[in-house]
A and B are shown apart, each in its own frame.
Chain A
Amino acid sequence: MSDPMRIRAQAQGDKTTVRVLVGHEMESGQRRDAAGKTVPAWFIQSISATWNGKPVMSAQWGPAVSKNPFMQFSFKGAKAGDKVIVTWIDNRGEKRTDEAVIT
């Protein structure tokens, strides 16, 4: 089971800034374990965010993104009390969705 994301969304005027801390191993597939065997790649492939059902951000990630990545983006139009929903899918097909209320 994957760990929950920490999402903070703050509205300032017309602009909403969203900060997301994602808990993920993000194995590059380039590392070897103590026994010399390659650690299989395991990373988030796509991550997206919606506000009121509308997509506001989507990104494709690869093995070069760090472990426990931090992401920040902003968009226009939202107000305090609205919900932002973030979803990621990794290369194993695992999925995680978390949401936050804009403050």
Chain B
Amino acid sequence: MNNHLTWALLGLTALLISPVASAQKTTAEGIAEYRAMLADGNPAELYEAKGEALWKQARGPKNASLEKCDLGKGAGVVKGAFVELPRFFKDTQRVQDLESRLLTCMDVQQGLDVVEIAKTRFGAGEQKNIESLVAYISGESRGMKFNLPQAHAQEKLMYEVGKKVFYLRAGPMDFSCASCHSEDNKRIRLQDLPNLTKQPGASVGFGSWPAYRVSAGDLWSMQRRLNDCYRQQRFPYPGYASDVTVALGVYMGVASKGGVSTAPALKR
């Protein structure tokens, strides 16, 4: 009798515990579920549509569109350009990322004051247009694999510079990019920190920007993302589309080789 009761109680306990145990989710799973719910209506799509219209719209003192802009795959070719940037450009004799290249095109094709644009704060004026443009351009390479060219000496140099900057510890907190982004399975509060030094972390991180940030209610470009990384490290921001930020782009981009671009993605 006593034995029976014990077994019955044990059985009951097991029944009570098991559904609770299976309902427990890891934080990462919870976040992934939240993202999946949001992914259906990623507002980045709105920016993509706006960016495509902007790309084709004649603007600036020269009243020209950006359709003659060379993003590395020939004048006007947008598809596949994003996954090969930053790269070396013959006309400017510089390695450029998407945004510094856009500045060049806005200057040469449209005659806009790009020095002023680079100084404009994120999310205001022409910077808002750049956000839409990068959403459109990156979206045209969605699902394609990163394959940054590393043939030119300048591109190799920028990779080495980027690597140095990535590991450079400085600032009041003695931080570097590597402090957070060079080990697997790290997180900051509830966010997983991708290991940007190798695959698959590199393309998970690098390959998802530009992205729509729900918390900001805005689409963030790579430059804006880097700006925030530097702010969090208490570094002074190196400047919009500066060589240092481009070098970091080369380093992370080369590390992402073979990874799939999901940009413009959706972030919390």
Partners in one complex: yes
Question: Which one of B45-53, B84-92, B177-185 contacts A?
Answer: B45-53
Q: In residues 3-49 of chain B, which contact A (Cβ within 8 Å)? A: 38, 40-43, 45-46, 49
Decide: A21 near B41, CB < 8 A? Known: A67-B217, A68-B217: yes
Given contacts A67-B217, A68-B217, contact A4 B40 (CB under 8 A): no
Q: Interface residues of A, CB < 8 Å — how many?
A: 11
- By size class, the interface of chain B is 10 to 19
B41 near A70 (CB under 8 angstroms)? yes
Contact of B46 with A68 in the complex, beta carbons under 8 Å:
yes
**Most interface-central of A4, A6, A66, A68 (chain B CB within 10 A):** A68
CB distance from B131 to the nearest CB of A (A): 13
Interface assignment of A72: CB less than 8 Å from any CB of chain B: yes
Main secondary structure of the interface of A (DSSP, over half): loop
Contact A19 B49, CB 8 Å, known A67-B217, A68-B217: no
- In chain A, positions 43-100 with a C-beta closer than 8 Å to chain B are 66-68, 70, 72
Evaluate contact between B40 and A72: CB separation under 8 angstroms: yes
A53 vs chain B, min Cβ distance (A): 26
Query: Which B residues form the contact surface with A (CB < 8 A)?
Result: 38, 40-43, 45-46, 49-50, 217
